[in-house]
Copies of this chain bind each other. A is one copy, B any other.
Amino acid sequence: MKLIVIKIGGNIIDDDAALQSFLKQFAALDGHKILVHGGGKIATAIGSKLGIEANFINGRRITDKPTLDLVTMIYGGLIGKNIVAALQANGCNAISLTGADGGVITAVKRPVKEVDYGYVGDLQENSVHVDTITKLLDAGMTPVFAPLSYDGQGGLLNTNADTIAQELAKAFATIMPTSLIYCFEKNGVLGNPADDTSVIKKISGADFQVLKDQGIISGGMIPKIENALTAVNKGVQQVIIGHAADLAALIKGETGTWIQ
């Protein structure tokens, strides 16, 4: 058996036509698969109506208790359950999970140093409980993860979706061949951000260093590629970053950026 772990970014979540098209393609994939979804802008929009303002320090979001409740509602409830309903309608027996469900992803609340990030979870070496997730896969179900982990003491923790996808892939790579696919609204890692056709086909660790030094890779793409390279180094067979619009081509490696 092999496994595909696919992460879809917030911009796809925010675009219902793109999301439904993606979910249809995801449902059609054969074999064991796991979906990890990001948050999208809806949490910020609903939070604003509820008087829960987004709070950033040094560009990083702070998860206070009202924000944790907000993301639990939106990520764990509204987005997760609607994705599952849409996948079910496409013949995929999906089940939405946070890290607390089945105790499948435990994490440590980020220690307070210069900044108190609040209810944010950092995943550890043993955070992903492969046995329980495997039981769901073996029962014919497709886990759909919201970006929330569990502190082991009754609390949920807001957790980066890329990190959850990466840790799931790394943990499963120890027991079966595993691919990790990051889907977003771009065609891959671009050599020129203004040119959607300038996809860099392959990036190795050495390439990454050069591209970073040249300033071609910058900003939020840096941690994404660092995560991807870590996954490769930990035995994930295939790591690809690309557009959510044609999933089959992306998985075959016909489009997107291969990290290797």
Contact = CB atoms under 8 A, between A and B. Distances in A.
Interface of A: 46, 49-51, 69, 72-78, 80-82, 84-86, 88-89, 93-98, 100-103, 132, 135-136, 139, 141, 148, 150, 152-156
Contact of A50 (B49, B82, B89, B148): B49
B73 A88 contact: no
A148 B75 CA distance: 17
Given A76-B76, A77-B73, A77-B74, A150 B85 contact: yes
Contacts of A76: 76-78, 80-81
A131 B100 CA distance: 23
Contact of A132 (B139, B153, B156): B139
Contact of A46 (B50, B81, B135, B148): B50
Contacts of A95: 97, 101-102
A199 to B, nearest CB: 33
Contact of A85 (B46, B75, B156): B156
Which of A69, A94, A95, A156 has the most chain B CB atoms closer than 10 A to its own CB?
A: A95
A100 B77 contact: no
A176 to B, nearest CB: 18
Given A74-B73, A74-B77, A93 B100 contact: no
A50 B75 CA distance: 17
A6 to B, nearest CB: 19
B101 A96 contact: yes
Nearest to A151: B85
17 contacts: A49-B51, A69-B78, A72-B77, A72-B81, A73-B73, A74-B77, A76-B78, A81-B98, A81-B100, A88-B100, A88-B150, A88-B152, A94-B102, A95-B101, A95-B102, A102-B141, A139-B139
A82 B156 contact: yes
Given A72-B77, A78-B72, A101 B84 contact: yes
A84 B86 CA distance: 24
A219 B80 CA distance: 36
